[in-house]
């Protein structure tokens, strides 16, 4: 597919206008329209960008993600050549779906100026049902984010979905699947090219300690000689430690959610190995992420018998070390957290506060402290969401979650 870049020369301004074909472009700068990065559904913004050669019949198509705009050109003259940038995300079919059957001859990518980090809500043709506690991880072999299970007050799910740059969310029908499970742990292991799924709540609070692996096509139950005890998690408790080539699991809820554990386990492709470090965080349910820039596992906060926590710990493969940052997010549990390769920092979003509030603040961890990030748009307050880094969009993918009013199935991207 051919394409080229045009560079925006003026800041976009919010309007309520709908996207329309722009027509003939033959000036050095021109006004067009683009999707509102923080709006609900298909909202549009005017944009000015510089034209490097005359182009006929331009249609504005889609924002993918916040700093990339797709346009189409019908019968360009002279022909436009070059490769579409890596951030190109939508297939022609997906674009046609958005524009209800419009047919295009050439897709172009328009890269907007570098911006501060922001949350973007795309309009998608299909999405999983509303839920919390779904398990997500990025499968670098198939270049897709994988979602399994999750649930709500009435049901636990056993469905498997992929999010790709060409199709958005697509439900799969693997030959074999784990049983319905809410709140399992899930992490991709690039060494074995499989994603490992552990534990969870089958819907009746009778927690399990099953281990399953996903190979990009189907699920296979594993039967390691030793396993962590049965437990569940509201947010991701596992991450792949790239520096040491192993998946790390910490803590979780046991006994139907009435108590917690604080053990550390490693998944080595076929076996679980428990570690007994000299120092560990207290027992808790919490969120785990791998900090690739500093080659450490990090956990923040969580909940245990003492209440809601706001401490920060790191794992170096041998022991846990408590960090004492100058600033931190407030005490919370059930927050989303993942490493953002685009910013070189671990990003934390939302969670559940001691007063019962659904939070929607964004924080970054880099070096030795937490820094709050202010964005022009943000998802509504939520907890028990699924969050991971998706390199296809050079940003974090946030899906689903719960709040005081129920459950959501919205998808957001945190991009720079």
Q: What is the mean pLDDT of residues 258-271?
A: 96
Residue 289 has pLDDT above 80, yes or no: yes
Residue 312 has pLDDT above 70, yes or no: yes
- What is the distance between the alpha carbons of residues 3 and 88, in angstroms, rounded to a whole number? 10
CA 57-60-65 angle, 5° bins: 145
Is pTM beyond 0.95? Reply is no
Q: Read off the tokens for 403.
A: 């709040």
Q: For 228-250, write each residue's pLDDT tens digit.
A: 999 999 999 999 999 999 999 99
- What is the distance between the alpha carbons of residues 262 and 252, in angstroms, rounded to a whole number? 7
Residue 148 has pLDDT above 80, yes or no: yes
Residue 31 has pLDDT above 70, yes or no: no
Q: What is the mean pLDDT of residues 187-195?
A: 98
Q: Alpha carbon of 151 to those of 377, 399, 400, 403: distances in Å?
A: 27, 13, 10, 14
Mean pLDDT of the chain: 78
Q: Supply the pLDDT for residue 71.
A: 41
- What is the distance between the alpha carbons of residues 413 and 123, in angstroms, rounded to a whole number? 11
Q: For 352-389, write each residue's pLDDT tens digit.
A: 999 999 999 999 998 899 999 998 789 999 999 999 99
Express as a percent the part of the chain with pLDDT over 90.
Answer: 62
- What is the distance between the alpha carbons of residues 339 and 342, in angstroms, rounded to a whole number? 9
Lowest mean pLDDT, pick from 110-114, 187-191, 216-220: 110-114
Question: For residue 307, how many C-alpha atoms fall within 13 Å in the half-sphere facing its CB?
Answer: 7
Residue 99 has pLDDT above 50, yes or no: no
Q: What is the mean pLDDT of residues 186-197?
A: 98
Set out the domains of the chain in order of their start, with CATH numbers: 5-115 (no CATH), 119-415 (2.120.10.80)
Q: Supply the pLDDT for residue 115.
A: 54
């Amino acid at each position: 597919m051919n394409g080229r870049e045009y560079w925006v020369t003026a800041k976009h301004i919010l309007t309520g206008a709908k996207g329309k074909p722009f027509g003939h472009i033959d000036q050095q700068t021109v006004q067009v329209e683009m999707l509102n990065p923080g709006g609900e559904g298909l909202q549009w913004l005017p944009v000015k960008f510089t034209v490097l050669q005359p182009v006929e019949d331009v249609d504005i198509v889609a924002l993918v993600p916040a700093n990339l705009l797709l346009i189409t050109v019908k019968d360009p003259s002279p022909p436009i050549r070059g490769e579409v940038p890596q951030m190109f995300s939508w297939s022609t079919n997906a674009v046609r779906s958005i524009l209800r059957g419009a047919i295009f001859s050439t897709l172009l990518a328009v890269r907007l100026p570098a911006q501060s980090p922001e949350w973007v809500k795309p309009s998608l043709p299909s999405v999983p049902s509303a839920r919390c506690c779904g398990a997500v991880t990025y499968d670098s072999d198939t270049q897709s984010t994988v979602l399994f299970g999750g649930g709500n007050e009435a049901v636990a799910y056993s469905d498997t979905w992929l999010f790709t740059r060409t199709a958005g969310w697509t439900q799969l029908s693997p030959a074999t699947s784990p049983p319905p499970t809410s709140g399992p742990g899930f992490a991709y292991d690039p060494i074995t090219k499989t994603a490992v799924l552990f534990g969870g709540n089958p819907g009746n609070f009778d927690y399990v300690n099953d281990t399953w692996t996903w190979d990009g096509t189907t699920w296979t139950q594993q039967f390691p000689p030793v396993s962590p005890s049965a437990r569940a998690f509201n947010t991701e408790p596992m991450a792949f430690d790239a520096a040491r080539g192993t998946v790390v699991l910490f803590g979780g809820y046991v006994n139907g959610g009435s108590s917690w554990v604080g053990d550390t386990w490693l998944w080595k492709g076929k076996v679980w190995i428990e570690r007994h470090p000299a120092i560990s965080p207290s027992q808790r349910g919490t969120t785990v992420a791998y900090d690739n820039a500093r080659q450490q596992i990090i956990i923040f906060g969580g909940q245990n018998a003492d209440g809601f926590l706001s401490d920060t710990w790191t794992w170096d493969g041998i022991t846990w070390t408590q960090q004492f940052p100058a600033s931190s997010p407030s005490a919370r549990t059930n927050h989303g957290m993942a490493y953002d390769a685009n910013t070189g920092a671990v990003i934390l979003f939302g969670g559940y506060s001691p007063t019962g509030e659904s939070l929607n603040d964004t924080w970054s961890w880099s070096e030795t402290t937490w820094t709050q990030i202010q964005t022009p748009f943000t998802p509504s307050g939520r907890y028990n969401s699924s969050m991971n880094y998706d390199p296809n969009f050079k940003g974090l993918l946030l899906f689903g979650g719960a709040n005081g009013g129920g459950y959501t199935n919205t998808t957001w991207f945190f991009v720079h």
